[in-house]
A and B are shown apart, each in its own frame.
Chain A
Amino acid sequence: MSEQALSNQSGVSSKEEMENALGSHDVATDQFLTFIMANEEYGVDILSVQEIRGWEAATTIPNSPDFVKGVMNLRGTIVPIIDLRLRFGLEHVEYGPMTVVIVLKVNTPTGDKIIGIVVDAVSDVYSLTNEEMRLPPDMGDQVNTAFIKGLADVQGKMVILLNIDELLDLQEIPDAEVLRNIVRD
């Protein structure tokens, strides 16, 4: 299984870059691993990323929401796998060789949890300062933007930075249309 896991080398090198950056000019930067889903680029805090692995079939959990693909064995730990496309209400695509599972550590009220998210493909690692991040636009009361940490402009591309702690709360499903609107905005 481990040979299937994609090595996260870009992350490692970027980490070094970040350390250099921190050392040279004292600007607080956060690093984000980005991934592609339905042609949009999303980012998660790289410190929460445990590993990236290729997709493999998970054991389904009975009576669970359809975005929960099931659980898999991560070296003896049972990890639930969540399809982020289904989570966001995007249309489901067949899993292919580029489909990856990003294993994340999320903070929940009941403690840290390890969760895998299925995304189309891993993209890049960016270092962003606080200034480069914009708050998500106010979408009105009905729209819950708690799961969006901010938006960032990287070389003309917009990256949606996700607040995974909020996003993966199983009780609170963000409205896909809302997200789409934000994405298109």
Chain B
Amino acid sequence: MSIDLSQFHQVFFEESFEGLDSMEGGLLDLNPDDFDVETINTIFRAAHSIKGGAGTFGFQVVADFTHVVETLLDEIRAGSRALEAPHVDVLLRSVDCLRDIMQALQDGDEPDMSTADTLKAEFVAILSGASECTPESAVSPDSNLDESDGASDETPSGHWEIYFKPDADVLRTGNEPVRMFRELESLGRLTTEVVVCDVPAFSSLEPETCYFAWNLTLEGGSREEVDEVFEWVIDESELSIRWVHGGLTESAKNTTQSPPATTTDNNQQPVESGSTSVDDSAPTKEMLSEPEADLPEPEQELESKPVEAVVSSAASVAGDKKTESPKKPQKSSSPESTSIRVGIDKIDSLINMVGELVITQSMLGQLGSDFDMGKLVRLQEGLAQLEQNTRELQESVMRIRMLPISFTFSRFPRLVRDLSKAMDKKIDLVLLGENTELDKTVMEKIGDPMVHLIRNSLDHGIEKPADRLAAGKPETGTITLNAFHQGGNIVIQIIDDGKGLDRDRILMKAIENGLVSKDDNLTDEQIYELIFHAGFSTAETISDISGRGVGMDVVRRNIQELNGSVEVQSMPGEGSTFTIRLPLTLAILDGQLVRVGEEVFILPLVSIVESLQVDLGMINNVGGNNEVLRLRNEYVPIVKLHELLDVEPENYELEKGLLVVVEGDNSKVGLFVDDLLAQQQVVIKSLEQNYQKVDGISGATILGDGKVALIVDISGVLRIASKVKGKPVSADHQAA
């Protein structure tokens, strides 16, 4: 009996948080008009196991609160109450509230019950305001005393009579009859009568043995529900359950006496009141209304009894739940579980190790290729082995760090739902590319900027339903979140089909703020770009959602901190697209080594479209010195890597080198290099760690010979190229 339950608390919290997540997910899927019973069942099951766990581990506040939640869910599940939109709302808020409470408990703090109490009152209102009066609907702060007076008269014309004699070991096996009765009570009004004839003489009393049997009368519930309650003890107890028609109210009244005691202690009351019955039906209800105020009465009575010691010790298990629940959680503030979060430092060093391994492998590979002795075969076998190991280690390490972006996306349906409700807008959220994998650190940091952007789209982008209809658009707006990999980058797009950015207003505001002058001849892209300036908002009214003008510049700054970029495209009346590009800051990259003069650079293999030797006939000069390659049906601008990167090349003539056509930011460009070397996997090392960001270079790596080679940042190169040439390489993207 003295098992320290606190060791399981962490598991309970984790499970409960998961349960809450699944409740939330389920609730968001619920459409009041047309819902799947299975969804309700899922939500109910989650709530039920949280309640069960909370009760077992002594978090009575959680158990009590969940019980009300569960009651409503149960009625909906059973079909006795129609699901209405407000229900979903209250339930969602309960999920939040429970999460807060459990977070507080986990941290060892006193949970703030004010929200819970408010919500409880709401539940009570919902439950009692029902037309169908299921027994639970009597749950209200003052119903506990009234119930024996026939408050719930419209009970079914029959009741269950249950004889339950648990095995003497029932307490040792962790099955607590009181909890089972409470469970039964949630099915209907319960009257209990204790049979104490087996209680031995005081001297031979075993505190951990159960000597009681119970006669229970239950009004309500189905056979399956009743069976479910006893499911765990059915094999270890004498149990008979039978349905009795009519005549219920009387017997219930007869057996009911004395004000209902409040705690689980009261299953011990029979000791005191001999073989008379006692009403055990109220505790849960009273606890629901007044979770904190309890206990005094039974204890007083116990005091005067000779069996006091026995009672209190036997009751201690149950009593703990109430009396110690506020203190217990503090004991439980065990170190945070390491099962989900992994220390970034450890992972970083692991990745470094993998890096070394990859380097060693390529070093050995070079050695091996020059090695022509008899041992060559064995050496190569070893190398193959090494390579395989390397790869496996590498993959498993990468898997730790890369998580599907759905971890971030999953919080947005709720956000969109709540905000659209608050703003009276109808919005569908579409999630695409949820399985796109993203570095964990990047993921953690991209959440907040995305929240900003989504709020922005909701507030500024999507119009009110009436405006949308007037504009000939469907009433319901759509926000699409899209994630995909592109050229070694992760691209996240937030697309809305709202009214688009108001070019003139932005420009006006910018002139007002002195950001630009009236005479500046700005392109649309340049104007849209202005929204990323600090203190810039065109929202007519400042709402608590957005419009304060602190959003977009923070968004941009956060994203730039991740070495990413954010840009906006917009079509008046058709919507806007925010595109976030994030580099793979920490990864192993498939690279193509290219030589420019003496230097070796690495191009990300993913961005290479093709490599070709130039035939001068394919080259055209556009507007002077801008060479363009005619590649089948396209014209691809040529960028000389040696000019861009300030390197002495071997050849200046295009026909003597090679052109590598790369794609980045939706545009193609031909990079002129001297030679193509090997393809290999390279470990991206940061240049910024000890130096600073270099334009056109995304990082460095160490080659097989120990030399450092720089990794070319394709979109950076495109940017520089467009600046150098004084005109965009690709008109539609570079300007933004």
Contact = CB atoms under 8 A, between A and B. Distances in A.
A is bound by B: yes
Interface in A1-56: 1
A28 B702 CA distance: 42
B690 A73 contact: no
B689 A76 contact: no
A59 B691 contact: no
Nearest to B685: A78
Interface string B680-704: 0000011101111011110010100
Contacts of B359: 76
Interface string A48-92: 000000000011111110001011110011111000000000000
Interface in B66-88: none
Nearest to A61: B694
B18 interface: no
A86 to B, nearest CB: 16
A166 B644 CA distance: 31
A42 B687 CA distance: 28
A78 B708 contact: yes
Nearest to B691: A80
A112 B565 CA distance: 26
Given A61-B691, A76-B352, A76-B355, A71 B647 contact: no
A115 B707 CA distance: 17
A168 to B, nearest CB: 10
A77 B700 CA distance: 10
A64 B692 CA distance: 10
B653 interface: no
B706 A73 contact: yes
B691 A78 contact: yes
Interface string B694-723: 111100101000111110000000000000
B685 A77 contact: yes
Nearest to B600: A59
Contacts, number: 69
B686 A78 contact: yes
Given A71-B708, A73-B707, A78-B708, A64 B690 contact: no
Max chain B C-beta neighbours (<10 A), residue from A61, A80, A113: A61
A77 B683 CA distance: 11
Contact of A59 (B352, B355, B689, B709): B709
Given A71-B687, A77-B689, A63 B700 contact: no
A62 B644 contact: yes
Contact of B708 (A1, A59, A113, A170): A59
A45 to B, nearest CB: 18
B690 A59 contact: no
A114 B710 contact: no
B703 to A, nearest CB: 9
B142 interface: no
A1 B697 CA distance: 26
Interface in B539-561: none
Nearest to B596: A62
Contact of A73 (B689, B697, B702): B702
Contacts of A70: 708
Contact of A1 (B647, B686, B706): B706
Contact of A62 (B352, B685, B691, B696): B696
B599 interface: yes
Max chain B C-beta neighbours (<10 A), residue from A59, A63, A68: A59
22 contacts: A61-B687, A61-B691, A61-B697, A62-B646, A62-B696, A63-B695, A63-B696, A64-B694, A71-B687, A71-B708, A71-B710, A73-B708, A76-B685, A77-B685, A78-B685, A78-B689, A78-B690, A78-B691, A80-B691, A113-B689, A113-B690, A170-B692
Interface of B: 352, 355-356, 359, 599, 644-647, 685-687, 689-692, 694-697, 700, 702, 706-710
Given A78-B689, A113-B691, 9 more contacts: A1-B706, A59-B700, A62-B645, A68-B691, A76-B355, A76-B356, A76-B702, A78-B700, A114-B690
